[in-house]
Amino acid sequence: MSGWLGFGITGALLAVALLAGRIAPVDPFASVALPLRPPSGAHPMGTDDLGRDLLAGVVYGARTSLFVALMVTGLACLVGVTVGAMAGWRGGIVDDVLMRFTELVQVVPRFFLAVIVIALLGAGLDRLVLLLGLTSWPLIARVVRAEVLSVKTREFVEAARSLGASGARVLTHEVLPGVLPSTIVVASVNAGAVILLEAALSFLGLGDPGAMSWGYLANNAQRFLRVAWWMALFPGGAIALAVLGFSLTGDALNDWLRVTSDRSSDVA
């Protein structure tokens, strides 16, 4: 049941992000009404201190948030699957070196590294995606490695080899498809974590100033907590809903695809 709820939330979020231009009544940066108005028929989530429509902000925020989450997770999967597959498939010294390196990357606190790098280079979605993507892959690599280690001793892999298939072909055609389910599970859990990270960074004023984001809206609400509760309630609630959607989806996929994943070590 909760799995369907997860898919529902994630699907709805994707739809909102894709159709932001149609759903949002107005430009999220445009001043369209009196400032600090509570939710009403014309502005269901109220307006902020500059008279901008909050619903439009939240809708366009979904676009930024999901874009970052999907790009980062895609990049992390690319690196993680490559490293994990190489380590598990080759074994020996390659495995040792890659896994030691993975442990080193896993120790780096992503949030604080992102704070420093953005402070040094300036804000932008491109560097945010690169930075989070290049630090979010260790968990995926470890899961993929473990799966490859278990799959590569199975009979169908043996069979493919004895038929004369090359190592690369066995890896890409026989082993990696078996690794896919657990990769999807870790990836969806990771996407939720990335949404939280992106929101936290834009809450600190480190988001892309050209893109509307939930963290930025929540930060803006901070100064008006006493007078405009709606400015704080809706953007943060959207973040919580999105993360909830991704973690329910991850749980459901985990149950349905019957895979095990190491979830205890999601270091910042």
Partner 1 sequence: MSHRYLLRRLGQAVPAVAAIFLLTFLLIHLAPGDPVVALGGEHGDAAYYAMIRVKFGLDRPLHERLIVYAARVIRGDLGTSFVHGRPVSGIIAERLPATLLLMLTALCLSTLVGCGLGTVAARCAHRPADFFLRSVALLGHAAPPFWLAQVAILGLAVGTGLFPVQGMTDARRNSVGLAHAADVARHLALPALVLAASELALTIRLVRSAMIEALGTDYVRTARAKGLPEMQVTDHALRNALLPVVTLIGGRVGMLCAGAVLVEAVFAWPGVGQLLLASLLSRDFPVLLGIFLLVSVSVVFANLLTDLAYGWLDPRIRYE
Which tokens go with 171?
A: 């890896």
Among 246, 208, 255, smallest CA distance to 64 is for 208
Handedness of CA 191, 195, 196, 201 (dihedral sign): positive
Contact in structure between 100 and 93 (CB atoms under 8 Å)? no
Comparing C-alpha atoms, which of 169, 165, 166, 114 is closest to residue 136?
114
Q: Which of residues 72-91 bind partner 1 (CB under 8 A)?
A: none
Work out whether 15 is an interface residue with partner 1 (CB under 8 A): no
Reported residue count of the chain is 268
Look up residue 43 and give its two tokens: 């502005």
Determine the interface stretch with partner 1 among 27-35, 77-85, 165-173, 233-241 (rule: CB under 8 A): 233-241
Of 29 and 112, nearer to partner 1 (C-beta) is: 112
Which of residues 172 and 222 has its CB atom nearest to partner 1 in the complex? 222
Q: Does 190 sit near partner 1 (CB under 8 A)?
A: no
CB nearer to partner 1: pick between 69 and 176: 69
> Is residue 103 part of the contact set for partner 1 (CB under 8 A)?
yes
* Options 30, 116, 159, 257; binder of partner 1; rule CB under 8 A: 116
Cα-based distances in Å from 227 to 10, 32, 48, 207: 32, 20, 11, 25
Query: CA nearest 263: which of 180, 198, 189?
Result: 189
The SS3 assignment for 52 reads strand
With binding defined as CB under 8 A, does residue 205 bind partner 1? yes
**What CA–CA distances, in Å, run from 29 to 33, 46, 48, 170, 197?**
12, 14, 11, 52, 23
Cβ 26 to partner 1, closest distance in Å? 24
By the rule CB under 8 A, 97 interacts with partner 1 = no
Instruction: Work out whether the CA dihedral 70, 76, 82, 84 comes out positive or negative.
Output: negative
Region from 31-39, 123-131, 156-164, 199-207 binding partner 1, contact rule CB under 8 A = 199-207
Identify residues 239-258 at the interface with partner 1 (CB under 8 A).
239-241, 243-244, 247-248
Q: Indicate whether 140 belongs to the interface with partner 1 (CB under 8 A).
A: no
Q: Does 19 bind partner 1 (CB under 8 A)?
A: no
Pick the stretch among 21-29, 63-71, 100-108, 156-164 that binds partner 1 (CB under 8 A).
Answer: 100-108
Helices assigned H by DSSP within the chain: 2-18, 20-23, 54-90, 92-107, 110-121, 125-135, 138-151, 155-162, 167-170, 176-203, 214-221, 229-257
Kindly indicate which of the ranges 15-23, 30-38, 71-79, 235-243 contains the residues binding partner 1, using the contact rule CB under 8 A. 235-243
Q: Which is nearer to partner 1, 34 or 107 (CB)?
A: 107
Stretch that binds partner 1, among 75-83, 85-93, 101-109, 145-153 (CB under 8 A): 101-109
Residues at the site binding partner 1, with contacts judged by CB under 8 A: 100, 103-104, 107-113, 115-117, 119-121, 192, 196, 199-200, 203-206, 215, 218, 221-222, 225-226, 229, 232-233, 235-237, 239-241, 243-244, 247-248, 264-268
